[in-house]
Amino acid sequence: MIAEAFIAELNQEAGTTRRVLERVPDGKLTWKPHERSLTLGQLAWHIAVIPRAIADLLSASEREAPNIPRPQPASVKECLAAFDESVPYASEKLASWGDAGLQAIWKLSLNGKTIFEIPRAAAVRSIMMNHAYHHRGQMTVYLRMLDVPIPVVYGPTADENPFL
């Protein structure tokens, strides 16, 4: 039941995430709102690969915190292709863990020191799901700053209203 609920949410949210990623202008992939920020392309890539990367991270019962690469994609098409592979991969992992695997304790360490030990389901919620939603929201801010129309996320935006 837990696995099916996560898979349903992942697939439902994937449509929204894909709509946001589709709005990224190819000609602005190296743009960033601040010197310390990721580029638009790096953020799009990160969003695209979160489901797969976190599914891989959670595959073992214990992990050392990874150094997360921030590649600069060549195109939005590349990000969309990665996203379209990432979601089904994560769904398959969730299904393979099942409820028992999701209830198992998962541990993350940094330099041998435990950061946290939580049920795998809590890690899925926090670093696969919520993490992706956070960055998707961040992406809408980037797009707004570039005067790109924001698609419907959970309801109307200043640019689109599905109820009209």
Could you read off the pLDDT of 43-87 as tens digits, one per residue? 999 999 999 999 999 999 999 998 888 999 999 999 999 999 999
- The model's pLDDT over 109-140, given as tens digits with 9 standing for 90+, comes to 999 999 999 999 999 999 999 999 999 999 99
* Spatial strand order in the sheet of 105-110: 62-64, 105-110, 113-119
CA distance linking residue 60 with residue 106, whole number of Å: 8
Where do the structural domains in the chain lie, given as residue ranges?
Answer: 2-145
- Class of 2-145 in CATH: mainly alpha
Taking phi first (over 0 means left), then psi (-120 to 50 degrees means alpha), and beta for anything else, what does residue 133 get? Answer: alpha
With cut-offs at 50, 70 and 90, classify the pLDDT of residue 162. Answer: confident
CA distance linking residue 41 with residue 76, whole number of Å: 8
CA distance linking residue 13 with residue 133, whole number of Å: 9
